Chain A
Amino acid sequence: MTSARPVHFTVNGAAATVTVEPRTTLADALRNELRLTGTHLGCEHGVCGACTVIVDGAAVRGCLVLAAQAEGREITTVEGLGSAAHLSALQLAFRKHHALQCGFCTAGILTTAHALLTEEPHADEDRIREVISGNLCRCTGYLPIIAAIMEARIAYRDVQCEAAQ
């Protein structure tokens, strides 16, 4: 309240400033101050992964990071991966494989997978399972999620090729 201070960072390519108390988490700042409600909170204690956002390329739990720690960082949320009208290759693969049911865990799984495949577009099934095991989904049983991520790898390889050329 009285101790609220401004924090500046970039979200999905655009500069943003939030004025928040020191105890405000990054997830709460994104959701409540910037109304980026695609990032969800399933536990608020760092276990479920629903709140995962990408900070400077790394998947982090928005409920465990304070907004103040994001000063000067570059953040990507699910809203930055693609829009309902223009879904990314990863998102399209999720739709094709029915890799979501209630959709509550989905944002955190997409951001986790996006960070992984950006770094490791050749990740094998075991590696994908290992990384996704930090995200809880109570609906799908994970099988279609793994299948979707496996299929989406190709799109990230293409991006790497383009970058290399």
Chain B
Amino acid sequence: MSDVAKLLVGSAVERMEDARFLSGSGNFADDLAVEGMLHAAILRSPIAHARIVAIDASAALAMPGIHAVITARDISDTIPIIPLRLAPLPEFEPFRQPVIASDKVRYVGEPIAVVIADSRALAEDALERIGIEFEALSAVTERGASETPLFDFAEDNVALRYDAGFGDADAAFASADYVRTERFSVQRHTALPMETRGLLAEWNSSAGRLVVTGATKVTFYNRRALAQMLGLREDDIDLIEIDVGGGFGVRGEFYPEDFLIPFAARKVARPVKWIEDRREHLMAINHSRDIACELSLACRSDGMMLGLRGQVFADMGAYIRTNGGVVPAKAAQFLPGPYRIPHVSVSVEAFMTSKTPVGTYRGPGRFEANFFRERLIDMAATDLGIDIAEFRRKNLITEQELPYPIDGLVPYEGPTSYDTGDYVEVFERALKEIGWHEKRHLQGKLVDGVRHGIGLGCFVESGGAGPKENAALTLEKDGSLTVAVGSSVLGQGLETVLGQIASDTLSIPFDRIRVLHGSTTLLDEGFGTYHSRAVVMGGSAVLDAAIRLREKILQQASNHLGRPNSELKIINANVVADNGASVSFAALAAGCELQADGTFSNEVRTYSYGTHAAHVTVDPRTGAVKVLDYIAVEDVGRAINPAIVHGQAIGAIVQGLGGVFLDHLIYDDQGQLLNASLADYLVPTASDFPVLRAVTLELRPSPSNPLGAKGAGEGGIVAVAAATANAVAAALAPLNVEIHHLPLTPPRLWRLIKNAHARAITAA
């Protein structure tokens, strides 16, 4: 890298995006206003499963200020179907979601009609005047609960089943000293970004061009999908990314509205804005988790793990959306975790219900898998009379065993291996941080009316999905730098991180760098932000472009100064020769175009890893849990901005604690979502979890990319249920309570305590 006083990569620089957010000058979707703009509101099914007999929009259309009511009939005879972006398995194809319901509705919240009006309020008024005649069908809300197939072509409601694994699990179980099988589950919940979704679509009929603003995550992919649905060329569409109020996996996938709003704009030939309200957000955006698992562990009597068998059951909701079966596939893949388990067999069953479709939410499948496995480990260790820390220490994969192949757990993915790390050292660090040796005597103890428990959870976490990412760097005439990248920014501070990488490589002051991201106008091709890939892939692409631009700058300076490259140095946006002559970047850029493209291709996944530990108290009289201390230790390979990584970790822990105690999308047996408001769908607040700590380590950089980064957005959440539920279980162990199911609400814990007490009395 260049001569600069202080390298920015690795330092906790303040974020370049903050001044605009702090002063209220950010630019979010609902902030957009253009000449002639109309507003959309969407009529959503109030019934979980029904045939649509008739739709009467005449009263709505007659209202003042209403420009159009669009239903399936207005779109075409064949309604576009949303494609599978990830893991496009043929089994899922028939279950994909049409962009609007035509003959049948399959979940509460499914779009039936779109109203376009002068204002959002008028559009909402008109929704109430659309008459729909339904013929109600019975809702399916549980696995195997009903014989009614939700899809006419299918015999039952199972979309996919597969088996996978490595080794010989049957033999391992047959020869084991000890076997235990338990059933666990994680409740349906969702990411809940604070900004709901929103889009502005502008159709230019004379040019035949469409611009959609408010897109994010995978804009290039979504453009391709939209072009096919609208019968346009990709080049005739631009998807523009502006400020985004949180993504966490759910935002930016291709949803019905990503077709409906552009379609409406083209139809009415006016710009159309749609802003999702919170109620529809909770019934329309991807739900997630909702996995049950039957897990069996086979061990030797000394605690060495021999085999693992897991059956994963996933409630996919009413349709298979863009993420396909990623959630259950990852729940199955991450069942073995960071442990040496020679024989593993997993199976996945993805079934359909009359609920909102599911997709990925931060740490998809991992949050669940780690909870299932780490709970069973505590049960097994207790049965075998082995200390829970010692049990884990014994079975963690050692550094000498890495790279450690975990092939064959996902049938449609190629071979993959845990790359680098020292799992044991990070585990010991977490024990030290939580004070395991000093506090373990507290396990289950009743002190001042509450019971103490300490829980542990270990994980590995994949990041850096391929295939590649692109970046383009331009030295502007004023000597400032513009960085354009195909990665998306969803509020995670990526602009700052990419700016740091470019600043160091080119020796340009950080405040002279502007980062443009996500939009399809910036590059020919981009791949977006998911699977903790933005820094690994986008960061490496920016680094590549910066190195190329540096060469061009030096070449240009060499011509200008008449000195060979070997005598030139870059110092603070100037090129200085050994003889003292110098030329500024601005002067060089004034003379010629200085631009460089960079790319980074890589199919190898990174594996971060770590351990979480929680110290809780449970009040046995009420079931209320208090988190006294929480520590997450993760090796991220390389932290470009430690403050941003730390912020990711703390934010993720709190989201995870929400998933353990609060977040829960509750359906009744009619398929009605009972808590579609923030008054009823609970998430953590500032007073819920005041003591949390995260330690970010840079022990073993990833060999897969020049930055050595492993992705850091998800390690903070993936082991939260594991560690916290283990802590609650440890606190309640003397009362003979076991924890199998989330969320750990006070009523649920209270009932478990009461039932255990009743059992004890009956037994006595």
Contact = CB atoms under 8 A, between A and B. Distances in A.
B232 interface: no
Interface stretch (A54-62, A64-72, A81-89, A154-162): A81-89
B21 interface: yes
A11 interface: no
Given A43-B677, A50-B194, A104-B194, A140 B683 contact: no
A84 B26 CA distance: 10
Interface residues of B, number: 60
Interface in B615-661: 643-644, 646-648, 650-655
Contacts, number: 190
Nearest to B195: A104
Given A87-B19, A95-B19, A110-B22, A145 B278 contact: no
Contact of A103 (B12, B26, B30, B688): B26
A63 B408 CA distance: 52
Contacts of B688: 133
A130 B18 CA distance: 25
Interface in A95-136: 95-96, 98, 100-107, 110, 129-130, 132-136
A42 B692 contact: no
Residue with the highest number of chain B CB atoms closer than 10 Å, among A21, A79, A101: A101
Interface in A1-46: 1, 21, 23, 31-32, 35-46
Interface stretch (B241-249, B343-351, B420-428, B730-738): B241-249
Interface string B558-591: 0000000000000000000000000000000000
Interface in B55-113: 64-65
A83 B20 CA distance: 8
B1 interface: no
B18 A102 contact: no
A106 B559 CA distance: 49
A1 B65 contact: yes
Contacts of A150: none
Contact of B277 (A44, A132, A144, A146): A44
A42 B684 CA distance: 15
Contacts of A23: 121
Residue with the highest number of chain A CB atoms closer than 10 Å, among B17, B246, B646: B246
A40 B28 contact: yes
**For the complex, would chain A's binding face be called helix, strand, loop or mixed by DSSP majority?**
loop
Contact of A135 (B20, B24, B30, B686): B686
Nearest to B492: A101
A46 B191 CA distance: 20
Nearest to A80: B24
Given A103-B243, A104-B28, A140-B650, A40 B195 contact: yes
B760 to A, nearest CB: 38
Nearest to B496: A98
A43 B681 CA distance: 12
A16 to B, nearest CB: 16
A73 interface: no
B19 A138 contact: no
B22 A106 contact: yes
Given A98-B643, A141-B651, A146 B686 contact: yes
Contacts of A38: 23-26
Residue with the highest number of chain B CB atoms closer than 10 Å, among A39, A78, A134: A78
Residue with the highest number of chain B CB atoms closer than 10 Å, among A32, A81, A104: A104
A101 B644 CA distance: 9
Contacts of B685: 132-136, 142
A134 B376 CA distance: 37
A138 B687 contact: no
A93 to B, nearest CB: 10
A143 B687 CA distance: 10
A146 B689 CA distance: 12
Contacts of A140: 647, 650-651
Residue with the highest number of chain B CB atoms closer than 10 Å, among A35, A87, A141, A144: A141
Q: How extensive is the interface on chain A, given as a class? A: 35 or more
B39 to A, nearest CB: 11
A95 B193 contact: no
A129 B690 contact: yes
B244 to A, nearest CB: 7
A40 to B, nearest CB: 7
A142 B654 contact: yes
Contact of A39 (B24, B33, B686, B690): B24
B493 interface: yes
Contacts of B278: 42-45, 48
B440 interface: no
A102 B22 CA distance: 11
A105 B686 CA distance: 13
A154 to B, nearest CB: 18
A136 B678 CA distance: 10
A30 B686 CA distance: 27
Given A35-B33, A104-B245, A94 B651 contact: no
A137 interface: yes
A59 to B, nearest CB: 14
A78 B12 CA distance: 26
Given A40-B28, A102-B245, A138-B683, A91 B654 contact: no
A106 B493 CA distance: 14
Given A91-B23, A106-B22, A96 B14 contact: yes
Nearest to B20: A84
B490 interface: yes
Contact of B22 (A31, A35, A100, A101): A100
B642 to A, nearest CB: 10
A87 B24 contact: no
B438 interface: no
Residue with the highest number of chain A CB atoms closer than 10 Å, among B12, B121, B194, B644: B194
Interface string B1-41: 00000000000101101111111111010110100000000
Nearest to B65: A1
Contacts of B684: 141-142
Contact of A129 (B19, B26, B243, B686): B686
Contact of A45 (B14, B647, B677): B677
A37 B692 contact: no
B192 interface: yes
A67 to B, nearest CB: 13
Contact of A42 (B195, B491, B643): B195
B207 interface: no
A43 B678 contact: yes
B653 A141 contact: yes
A136 B194 contact: yes
A124 to B, nearest CB: 13
Contacts of A21: 121
B22 A133 contact: no
A128 B684 CA distance: 16
A49 to B, nearest CB: 10
B289 to A, nearest CB: 16
Residue with the highest number of chain B CB atoms closer than 10 Å, among A21, A44, A82: A44
B22 A91 contact: yes
Given A140-B651, A141-B650, A130 B194 contact: no
B687 A130 contact: yes
Interface of A: 1, 21, 23, 31-32, 35-48, 50, 77-79, 81-85, 87, 91, 94-96, 98, 100-107, 110, 129-130, 132-146
Given A45-B678, A101-B651, A133-B687, 19 more contacts: A23-B121, A35-B33, A42-B195, A43-B278, A78-B23, A82-B22, A91-B23, A95-B19, A102-B21, A102-B491, A103-B491, A104-B28, A104-B245, A132-B685, A136-B685, A139-B651, A141-B653, A141-B654, A144-B647
3 cross-chain pairs, A with B, having the tightest CB-CB distances, nearest first: A38-B24, A102-B491, A103-B21
6 contacts: A40-B245, A45-B679, A48-B278, A100-B18, A133-B686, A142-B686
